[in-house]
Structure 1
Amino acid sequence: MSLFESDKSAQRLPVSLITGFLGSGKTTLLNRLLRHDDMTDSAVIINEYGEVSFDHLLVERVDGEVAVLASGCICCTIRSDLEQTLRDLLVKRDRGEIPPFRRILVETTGLADPAPIVQLLLNNPLVSHFLRLDTIVTTVDAVNAPHQLDRQYEAVKQVALADRLLVTKRDLVEDVGALEQRLRQLNPGANIEAVDHGEIDPANLFGAGLIDPEKKRIDVARWLNEHAFTGPHAHAGHSHHDHHAPHDHHDHDASIISFMLAFDEPLDWMAVTHWLAHLRNARGADLLRVKGILNLQGEPAPIVIHGVHHVFHPPVALSGWPDNDRRSRIVFITRGISRADVLGLWQAVRAAA
């Protein structure tokens, strides 16, 4: 019998986070998304002082807090804190006070660090019991991003944590090749796509979770985006074959390191626990994102881990391996913690066991 909770992703509502620096196009993106037929059963949460305005789409308000949009979507603002807002939405839905919804979109302010919201979704039992993190989407302004990434660490972090990077205002820039290369260096595991005035197929935007609840299948390669770390386009400094941090003339960029560790033999869970605990305690502020699938000794099914900084989702057991690849694979996105540092700590933990 497994010591780990079985994965219940299919039973939990997906929550997607839409972030991006000031003026990068979050408002346009959200308004376009909510006009799609596939998005009519969505709830949108925005910051009270955020940039998004849906006034031209409002039909009615519920209790002065929740608005029903013309598209059928639910919209509300964060009045106190996000946890309470999420719980209130679920209660109103269950009471039939607002139309039902199947997904939640959370929009942040342009200067926000997305990490606290991700942490809330990963490991707050009052929220994570009902909701699951699906996708982190970051909009990137093709005109102003180079300047913002040079001077604002928040902009760098928004890029580094993303599953999807959307380059906006592409029509105003002759060549975005250098920007896209920079984005790939900051976050090789994210999909990058240019969007024209916020228009994108929602099917290509969301669904970055490990489990596809509708298709009932596990997609490890998609979740980890393994090709970014092992394929021919893996960038020097980011590939799991390279032990060195990337060299870059941007101070913010040079401190962000992405790599994947793969282990052929089944791992000892106690050793993994001590390893990750030491990383969180010693360098939690610099441990931007960790996600992986583990083959553990004595466990018949893979175990999934996912964390941001010092907060990790409780490890869960999947129903089975999706294919014949039984390797443990862990993707790290860090600030100033090299692959050699992480691997050296793992070897020290094993030696001490």
Structure 2
Amino acid sequence: MQSGPQFVIVSGALGSGKTSLLEALLACEDASDTAVIVNEAGEINIDGAVLSESGRGMSMATLSNGCVCCSMTSDLVTTVQDLVQFRRAAGKKLFSRIVLECSGLSRPGPIVSSLQELAELRLKLHLITTYDCSRPAMQTGDFEDAVAQLVGANTIVLTKVDLVPSGKRDEALRAVAAVNPMAHVVNEFSATVRARGAFQPQSNGAPVTGDVSNSTSGRRRLLHPRVRVFRAKLHKEVSWDGALDWLENIAGALGERLLRVKAIVPGENRSDRILLQSVGTTFSAPRRLSASTSAPVGAVIIARDCGRQELDEISTERVVSWFDYQ
């Protein structure tokens, strides 16, 4: 079955440059096969008005007066369905890209979960988070929201890079790499290059197994002690069912403390390799990797307020060997 449109969730702190990023993309390409959904926590749709000026031929919809991650997920599903039906009724091909620009208050986990109702569209999910170098959210009262947005991202975009000295820009780069070492980080001065890099789909991201002793060496020191990044190498004898049980146990035990999982596990045919990913405790559909992949089986887990001893206790059977980023 043919895959559906790319569904891009753009999150980031208030004022971190989400609208500017999307505006730069729409200004440099034909937007006739792009639909944009703007979620603003207010009645005046300023961002929607700005984007309408940039998007040539773009379809626009708005979700106002609420945060899409907590109170408006059903409205989001309905809006996507309406956009698709409108396109079909007009006799046009399905959108190649649907972009949801979230309010700065939104966390991606519940949004991803709500998209399960749109399974028939076979959306290709891509999560982008903007990170303001001039006002780093990891160092403000927005820490909890910032972590949820950063660890869920496939791509992290550094913004306001022209407003800060190089040292502060490097500090922001280290901060986001420490919290989400799996993400592709866009660190560009040009608004056009930054936008194109942000919306370029990423495949598997960083490798998920192996010894990390040479890759940390102080560069990925976490800036907040409550967030930890763990790397696990699955033992050769672990089966498909055993790997699923292990990940379900992790998700069930950690609950909201689980921020992100990316794992490569053996399939029912042990020579197969399956990619499993979660944002929070919401897992996306398993994805079979190509037969030519050389990736070993293993997982990266990002969690809050969790130590390795607790993970060892969750793994009652000998499933993995842990490598800790800290």
Fold match, TM over 0.5?
A: yes
Match of 1:178 in 2: 171
Change in 2 beyond 3 A, CA 1:146/1:77: closer
Question: Identity rate of aligned residues, in percent?
Answer: 25
Give TM-score scaled by structure 1 length. 0.75
Q: 1:72 aligns with which of 51, 57, 71?
A: 57
CA distance in 2 between partners of 1:282 and 1:192 (Å): 30
- What amino acid sits opposite 2:127 in the alignment? I
The letter of the residue matching 1:102 is S
> For 1:16, which of 8, 19, 36 is the aligned residue?
8
RMSD: 3.3
Counterparts of 1:148-297 in structure 2, within 5 Å, are 148-149=139-140, 151-174=142-165, 175=167, 176-196=169-189, 198-200=191-193, 202-210=195-203, 223-226=204-207, 234-235=215-216, 253-263=224-234, 265-296=236-267
The 2-side partners of 1:288 and 1:120 are apart by: 17
Change (3 A) 1:197 1:298: closer
Distance 1:336 1:132, change over 3 A: farther
List gaps (5 residues or longer) in structure 2: 65-71, 321-326
Contact 1:115 1:308 in 2 (8 A): yes
After superposition, residues 76-115 of structure 1 pair within 5 angstroms as 76-78=61-63, 81-96=75-90, 100-115=94-109
Q: Indicate if the aligned counterparts of 2:77 and 2:118 stay in contact, CA closer than 8 A.
A: yes
Alpha-carbon deviations, 1:198-240, whole Å to 9, x = none?
4335552234454xxxxxxxxxxxx14128975676326999x
Contact 1:136 1:162 in 2 (8 A): yes
One of 276, 287, 312 as aligned partner of 1:305: 276
Tell me, yes or no, if the aligned pair for 2:150 and 2:179 is still in contact at 8 Å: yes
Deviations 1:60-113 (A, max 9, x none): xxxxxxxxx751221111265211111111111122277742111111101211
Is 2:227–2:302's contact at 8 Å kept on the other side of the alignment? yes
Match in the other structure for 1:120: 114
Which amino acid in the other structure matches residue 297 of structure 2? S
- 1:337 is matched with 306
How far apart, CA to CA, are the structure 1 residues paired with 2:319 and 2:199? 38
Distance (Å, rounded) in 2 between the aligned partners of 1:35 and 1:199: 9
Shift of residue 326 of structure 1? 5.4
Cα gap change, 1:209/1:195 in structure 2, threshold over 3 Å: closer, same or farther? Answer: closer
- Judging changes above 3 Å, is the alpha-carbon distance between structure 1 residues 179 and 296 closer, same or farther for their aligned structure 2 residues? same
Q: CA deviation at 1:265?
A: 1.4
Q: CA deviation at 1:18?
A: 0.7
Matched, 1:139 2:127: no
| 101 and 315 in structure 1: CA distance in 2 versus 1, 3 angstrom threshold | closer
**Are 2:315 and 1:346 equivalent residues in the alignment?**
yes
Q: Residue 290 of structure 1: SS of its match in structure 2?
A: strand
Q: CA deviation at 1:162?
A: 1.6
